[in-house]
Amino acid sequence: MTHDPLTPKTRKAALTDHLRAGILTLEYHPGSDLDEVALCDRFGLSRTPVREVFRDLDGMGYLELRENKGARVAALSHTTLRDFFLVAPMIYSAILRMAARNATSVQIGKLKQAQEAFTAALRQGSGAERALSNNAFHEITGEMAHNVYLVPSFHRLLIDHARIGMTFYQPRNRQMADNLAEASAQHDAIIAAIEVGDEEAAAALAEAHWALSRNEIERFVLPVPLDLELGEDQVGGGAS
């Protein structure tokens, strides 16, 4: 029998990473039920650690736990979308302002590495790889902000921004490709503003960065019969 080099702890971490990435990139559809037994078998875990992962991801906003019904992927409803478009520019602006104020040199180095990964994904990565690398970039700005009130909301926002914005990372025309190039240039400008501690410039860049993806996201979301796209439970539907 082949020895399994992975400990239960590392298998549990692998399950967490798998579900997070799968949810962000729509491998797991918003509102869909998770097959607990299949995940146990796939990752070599009993139900107890799998349910612990579910609880952790529920607390982070990736999943929804329902009594006697198991776990499902967090849904996207019209209410969610309305709230998302309302608060996204405010939260992004506040996060980058605080990042410029609080970032350490180590964090700035991590952000530069994340930007290198993002530009590499733009050159030759898939839509999912682009979305995940962009998400990683912005997660680091949240670490930089280091604010007990802002960061949890920011992390929740990033989950839905990645899901809603998956279309942005699969350019269908020259304009969308140009927008991706501009997004990368804005990342570079964000790094520069944070590195010199320019809070005003960082906040302004956050608003410009949000505006760049907003129109494409709205064109993707609004014309679609959202309940057909995203499954059960939405009144009027949801989207990503």
Tens of pLDDT, residue by residue over 110-124, are 999 999 999 999 988
The class (CATH top level) of 8-73 is: mainly alpha
pLDDT score for 2: 43
- Buried/exposed 84-122: b ≥16 CB within 10 Å, e otherwise: beeebbebbbbbbbbbbbebeeebbebbeebbebbbebb
Q: Are 166 and 221 in contact (CB under 8 A)?
A: no
Q: Are 53 and 12 in contact (CB under 8 A)?
A: yes
How do residues 129-155 score in pLDDT, each as one tens digit? 999 999 999 999 999 999 999 999 999
18 or 234, higher pLDDT: 18
What is the pLDDT averaged over residues 171-182? 68
Q: Which residue intervals of the chain bear CATH 1.20.120.530?
A: 78-226
Query: Measured at the alpha carbon of residue 87, what is the angle toward residues 137 and 100, in degrees to the nearest 5?
Result: 45
Residue 216 makes CB contacts below 8 A (sequence gap 6+) with 165, 167, 168, 176, 179
Confidence bin at 207 (pLDDT 50/70/90): very high
How do residues 49-72 score in pLDDT, each as one tens digit? 999 999 999 999 999 998 888 899
Superfamily for the 78-226 domain: GntR ligand-binding domain-like (1.20.120.530)
Tell me the pairing of strands 63-66 and 70-73. antiparallel
For residue 82, the one-letter residue type is R
Percent of the chain with pLDDT over 70: 82
Q: Which residue intervals of the chain bear CATH 1.10.10.10?
A: 8-73
Is residue 206's pLDDT more than 50?
yes
pLDDT score for 226: 41
pLDDT score for 53: 98
